[in-house]
Structure 1
Amino acid sequence: MAAKEKTGNPIVETIKTIVYALLIAGIFRTLFFQPFWIPSGSMKPTLLIGDFLFVNKMAYGYSYASCPSLMMPRFGIEIDAKDICGWADGENTRLWGGDPERGDVVVFRHPVSGRDYIKRLIGMPGDTIQMKAGLLHINDAPVKVVDDGVFSEVMEPQGPQGVRPRCENGPVGNGGACEKGRQLETLPGGTTHAILNIGNQQSDRTGTYTVPEGHYFFMGDNRDNSADSRLAQQVNGVGFVPYENLIGRADRVMFSSAGRSMLFFWTWRGDRFFEKIE
């Protein structure tokens, strides 16, 4: 008679398979690409609420911030990158580090809250940054800006949080056209991207920020609806971001959902598959 093949406990084998899969996924996410879903409108029109993208973590090398965080307070799960890779924190350095370029769209770790943010890199180490009457000045020189029409979207709740957009054309009823002025801004070095303006507010008139060595200055493309480096002293303000807090560069939108969940495939935007991020 043939010997009976020995088989393991199916429950144990299933658990081992899940553990191995999670380890492989964790290594892949730590070293190569991190998924990111856009939760707010601070980067409109470049990124819309519901855009799903992968962040290129190889672009700038690796630091403690490259380790993934898993924040699910509803289920009592709050695993921070520092819990896993805190031993690498503190020197503001990176392994196989690469320098970001002005104009890159970057995911970074908030210097205070530790949450992942995505903004555009505006100021390099040593730069002076100032907003004068809504116009960005870098090293005392105004950037080139040209009008580019109007950005229009439907006034309705957006994303899982049901956030309604802010409009330049005043209070707009549900289902109406919410409009913002759109301009093309060209940064030193030649990167051109679209920005939006809603109205005159405090963040359009700032003092002069001098970016420290080893740090960067970030702003949202939706200039009047972005908590960024201009708001260092305010709630949710970012301030200067250390080099080691960079997570990676956003290069391309994979797909985009206009609904409450990215799983609602019938709400996916057909014109944003594999959209290059400029």
Structure 2
Amino acid sequence: MVWFETILVALTAFTGLVWLLDRLVLAKRRAAAAGPQGPAKEPLLVDYSKAFFPILVLVLGLRSFVAEPFRIPSSSMMPTLLIGDFILVNKFAYGLRWPITNKKFLAIGEPQRGDVVVFRPPMRPREDWIKRIIGLPGDRIGYHDNRVWLNGKPLPYVVDGIYTGVGQGADASGATELTEELPGRPHRVLEHPDLPFLPQGQGEGDWVVPPGHYFVMGDNRDNSEDSRFWGFLPEANLRGKAFMVWMNFDRSADPWIDTSRIGMRIP
């Protein structure tokens, strides 16, 4: 949503400049030209700018440096996140960044293995994507036969059962649901052995994560365009850490709003 961020910054800057110009110049001119009836009425543009500027500053500050809402548009993070989930992203977990440019100006923390992150993919820098960090800088990652290998060791898996999708994610019904024992961050994943996203063997391989980069994957392993296909995620492209579902709305589901997901922590 780069366009929304750009508009928000532009409106904040414009209303702020109008307010500042009025305070330094225009208000004094109105006072100097005041007649028997007193100073002239504020122009409508000045009135609106003074009213909206504090609100825009607050929204921009919260959205840029505290928490930003995102909507999940695809099934790549099922079963953890569903199509129609609205999530909150911690914008200061990995350092404060300027709006629009996303350039970090204050380092605070570093991503951890297993974090679900929002980022701008290198090949589509105007879009926001969401995946899970599987590999940190220096890690050796392998993916073979639907199994992740981390630094030479295969991750353990526990089969939880057959997944039943809802709403726009109903086509995932019948997939195998497993718990992937990523060290310190176990989480659920889906496998579609009968309906692979890509032909067998594609997306498999071994990688060494370079400095300043991360290896990310979707939890819906056979329906996720991730580091297996387009490479490593640069640290500079991170937007924040997803931490909570604050709303779920899917008109294809019954009911449209799944209240059980509201306030759910993202593992």
TM-score, normalised to structure 1, is 0.74
Q: State the match for 2:181 in structure 1.
A: 186
State the shift of 1:35 in Å.
0.8
Compute the displacement of 1:202 (Å). 3.7
Superposition deviation, residue 179 in structure 1: 1.9
C-alpha deviation, 1:19, in angstroms: 4.0
> Aligned to 2:216, which of 215, 218, 222?
218
Letter in 2 for 1:12: V
Point out the structure with the larger helix share: 2
1:63 CA drift (Å) = 3.5
- Residue equivalent to 2:70: 36
**1:203 touches 1:230 (CA, 8 Å); kept in 2?**
no
Does the 8 Å contact 1:134/1:205 carry over to 2? Answer: no
Q: Which shows bigger deviation, 197-206 or 247-256? A: 197-206
Q: Deviations over 1:37-71 (max 9, x none)?
A: 1000100010001111110011110235xx2xxxx
Root-mean-square deviation (CA, aligned residues, Å) is 2.5
Question: Which sections of structure 2, spanning at least 5 residues, go unmatched?
Answer: 1-36
* Uncovered stretches (5+) of structure 1, i.e. residues with no partner: 68-80, 159-163, 168-177, 233-238, 261-265
Conservation of the 8 A alpha-carbon contact between 1:54 and 1:253: yes
The percentage of aligned residue pairs carrying the same residue is: 40
- Counterpart of 2:261, as a letter, is R
Matching of residue 135 in structure 1 with residue 147 in structure 2: yes
Contact 2:164 2:170 in 1 (8 A): no
Corresponding residue SS for 1:59: coil
2:114 maps to a residue whose letter is G
CA distance in structure 2 between the aligned counterparts of 1:215 and 1:122, rounded to whole angstroms: 11
Which structure has the bigger radius of gyration? 2
List aligned pairs for 1:37-76, cutoff 5 A. Answer: 37-64=71-98, 67=99
What is the aligned partner in structure 1 of residue 238 from structure 2?
A: 246
Distance 1:46 1:203, change over 3 A: farther
Aligned residue pairs total 226
| 1:44–1:195 Cα contact (<8 Å) kept | yes
Counterpart Cα distance in 2 of 1:243 and 1:20: 32
SS at match of 1:223: coil
Q: Which residue of 2 aligns with 1:206?
A: 204
Q: Which residue of 2 aligns with 1:113?
A: 124
Separation in 1, partners of 2:213, 2:174:
35
CA contact (8 A) 1:63 1:245 kept: no
Post-superposition CA distance 1:146-170 (Å, at most 9, x none): 100111024x6x2xxxxx6544xxx
Higher RCO (CA-CA < 8 Å; seq separation 6+) = 1
Contact 1:183 1:196 in 2 (8 A): yes
Pair 1:127–1:216, CA change in 2 (3 A)? same
CA offset at residue 203 of structure 1? Answer: 5.9
Q: Is the 8 A contact 2:65 2:97 kept in 1?
A: no
Give the aligned partner of residue 258 of structure 1.
250
Give, in whole Å, the separation in 1 of the partners of 2:164 and 2:105: 41
TM-score by length of 2: 0.77
Aligned partner letter, 1:109: R
Separation of aligned partners in 1, 2:218 and 2:149: 15
1:13 and 1:61 map into 2 onto residues whose CA distance is 36
